[in-house]
Amino acid sequence: MNRLQLELHRLYVPQGPEDAGGEAGEPGMIQAGGRVRAMVLELARPADWGAVSKVWQGVQTDLDLPAPAIAVSGTDGYQLWFSLLSPLPAPVAGDFLEALRLRYLGGIKVDRVSLLPAPDATSPPLIRHARPVPGPQEISGHWSAFVAPDLAPMFADEPWLDMPPNEDGQSRLLSRLKSILPADFQHALELLRSARTPQLPELALENSLTDGLGAGPLDPRAFLLGVMNDETVALGLRIEAAKALLHDTTGSGRR
């Protein structure tokens, strides 16, 4: 293996005899048991470094985790690649990424954010993962690549490279990164979980849900419907609103 391949294996590829090349992801990214070392958060359509940088900074300052790698996807987005020292089950990795999304990207439409690994809906119970970086795009010929934090804003309009990135440069970027220790991951996940249920009215006000409900006292049912149907609200809170509406409906039926 060359130096870039060594760095990619050091950070993202599960090691040891169980490394079986993955279930529905790229070779080596997913163990046969569905465990992963790489977690990828992508924001696209369009690429928005201002939003992604909040996640990149937040995991370091708020959660005291190592900086993830920054990548341009080769198409229309930015990616953050998190490295785990020890493989974790894909659902646990997904829970962590969803908690990050709720905390730092809760005001962004869900369909713009990709969290990988994720279940492959086309062939359950398989798992899909991110395409390796760096890599070419089949149609456009553009390349995905890891980029330095100070250069990341330059790719907002064109989140790709027109030619293959320099392998030595890519390996140098990765060589500065560290993997997340198991204890640090667990601590960060607990912090995220404890902070992922803010008061529903406060979040609703932040997202201007009351704009379409008129002035004066709010009807509770209309308010909950507004929360449930607003795609800018974090998915977990929309689910809680739906549960509250269901409880209200079933409760009324019993009276």
| Phi/psi-derived region of residue 79, left when phi > 0, alpha when psi is between -120 and 50, beta in every other case | beta
For 37, the token pair is 């070392």
Residue for token pair 């940088």? 53
135-136, strands of its sheet edge to edge: 113-116, 35-44, 77-89, 69-72, 143-147, 135-136
Answer with the residue of higher pLDDT: 243 or 212.
243
- Least Cα distance to 86 among 33, 165, 124 occurs for 33
Query: What mean pLDDT is predicted for residues 226-244?
Result: 68
* Mean pLDDT value of segment 248-253: 53
Cα(16)–Cα(20) distance, integer angstroms: 9
Phi, psi of 241 (to 5 degrees): -65, -40
Q: Which pLDDT score is estimated for 209?
A: 45
pLDDT value at position 215?
41
Neighbours of 145 (CB within 10 A): 24
Among 20, 77, 72, 22, which residue's Cα sits nearest to residue 45?
77
Structure confidence at residue 80 (pLDDT)? 98
- Average of per-residue pLDDT values in the chain: 83
Domain ranges of the chain: 3-194, 200-254
Could you give the count of Cα atoms lying within 13 Å of 131 in the half-sphere of its Cβ?
12
pLDDT band per the 50, 70, 90 thresholds, residue 158 = very high
Confirm if 21 and 129 have CB atoms less than 8 A apart. no
Q: 79 with 48: CB under 8 angstroms?
A: no
Question: Could you confirm whether domain 3-194 is CATH 3.90.920?
Answer: yes
Q: Categorize the per-residue pLDDT at 17 as very low, low, confident or very high, splitting at 50, 70 and 90.
A: very low
Q: Which pLDDT belongs to residue 206?
A: 45
- 233 confidence band (pLDDT: 50, 70, 90): low
Average pLDDT over residues 117-143: 86
